[in-house]
Amino acid sequence: MISVAEAKKIILENTDALSPVKCLLQEAAGKILAEDIFSAVDIPAFPQSAMDGYAFSFNDWKQQQELIINGEMAAGDYSSETLQPGTAIRIFTGAPVPNGADTVVMQEKVIVKDGKLMIEDDILEQGRNVRLKGSEIKTGEPALEKESILSPAAIGFLAGIGVTEVMTIPNPVISIIITGKELQQPGKTLAPGQVYESNSFSLTAVLKQLHFSNIKIYSADDDLEILTGMLKEALEKSDLVLLTGGISVGDYDFVLKATENCGVTKLFHRIKQRPGKPLFFGKKANKLVFGLPGNPSSVLTCFYEYVLTVLSLMTKRKISLSSAPAPLASSFSKKILLTQFLKGHYNGENVTILDAQESYRMSSFAKANCFVVLEEPMKEYAEGGAVEIHLLPA
């Protein structure tokens, strides 16, 4: 067995980002940009009114104080004509400011009478309420740097400079292989000896919560030939394969043999931790394989602590669990020589270690918002003593 730290080091050393692909901008939300983007246009492309009001020459107004209103300009309009001395033009937000005008006064600060404009704005300055050409970004200037996250705002910004496609780090194709002849799908009648299968539901739910949607589900009985065939297909079609169950040393635990049959190199198997001690991690070319324990709590624990790190490295997204110190709400006696990931609830002030910590029990996991991480040595933890917590995605 290896330590938790050793396992995580092996994962870091063997996981690379996926190769960039071209992506339509409207499909790039949440992904990581794989190139520097430079603007091909000035934004705004012309001097633009920031207000509904009137456009005029500031110096002209200073000399005359009263201007003749001569026409109007709305967003989408265009005129090559120059504003005549002594005149102003009615203008609306987003409209081009005409040649000869350099200032816009908002409509609430004027009096219009008999086609003439009188301005009542004591603090009006030259250039007020005019968005200058290129004031947002100029042609050739950097818009977004490589490895920026494509947030809704970033996508809107790129669309605003005319971008339609970007190079991004793609999301991986993920296959989940559920093993165990004792499993029955929810909604069907249980035969004697059967239990409802839940691991595909929890794994799919957490993947979709993290915006991974290219997921294929396989179900295999405890049959080596069938499992080997499914794993071979999954490796051909996927970037990441998650198997659940069948990684211990029982007569019906065929996952390790199936990985050997498919040419997967074992990088580690068994970690000094609870839950999830039998965890397997392997690699074939650039395809990664996890063998997750079958118990539901172990599956999710190993997903959050290990698979999530792989997904973060593959996509360059910052989705690994965040950690923080927190005081214990009550004392706890650690009696095993393994790192423990205990289901906990953090209320912002202290953390409570929940009951029902056994690896088959999901009731406490459903209430948890963190793991309490207790490292290998046995130890007595006092009430109020600081422990490390890993915060789960909300």
DSSP 310-339: HHHHHHT---SPEEEEEEBSS-EEE-SSSE
Same domain, 226 and 279: yes
The total number of structural domains in the chain stands at 4
Using the predicted structure, report yes or no on whether residue 249 has a pLDDT greater than 80. no
pLDDT for the residue 180: 84
Domain boundary among 265, 291, 315: 315
**102 and 199 assigned to the same domain:** no
* β 280-284/265-269 pair status: antiparallel
Q: What is the pLDDT of residue 360?
A: 86
296 lies in the same domain as 157: no
90-113: average pLDDT: 97
274-318 pLDDT, tens digit each: 999 999 999 999 999 999 998 999 999 999 999 999 999 999 999
Whether 162 and 175 map to the same domain: the answer is: no
Mean pLDDT, rounded, for 332-349: 96
Domain boundary among 112, 131, 150: 131
Domain of residue 199: give its range. 4-19+171-315
Give pLDDT, residue 221.
80
Structure-block tokens of residue 27:
């499909």
15-34 mean pLDDT: 96
The CA-CA-CA angle for residues 119, 120, 126, to 5°, reads: 65
- Give the span between the Cα atoms of 297 and 305, in whole angstroms: 12
Closest to 387 measured CA to CA, from 337, 319, 341:
341
252, pLDDT greater than 60: no
Same structural domain, 144 and 193: no
Mean pLDDT of 105-128: 94
Distance CA 155, CA 153 (A): 5
For the chain, give the mean pLDDT: 95
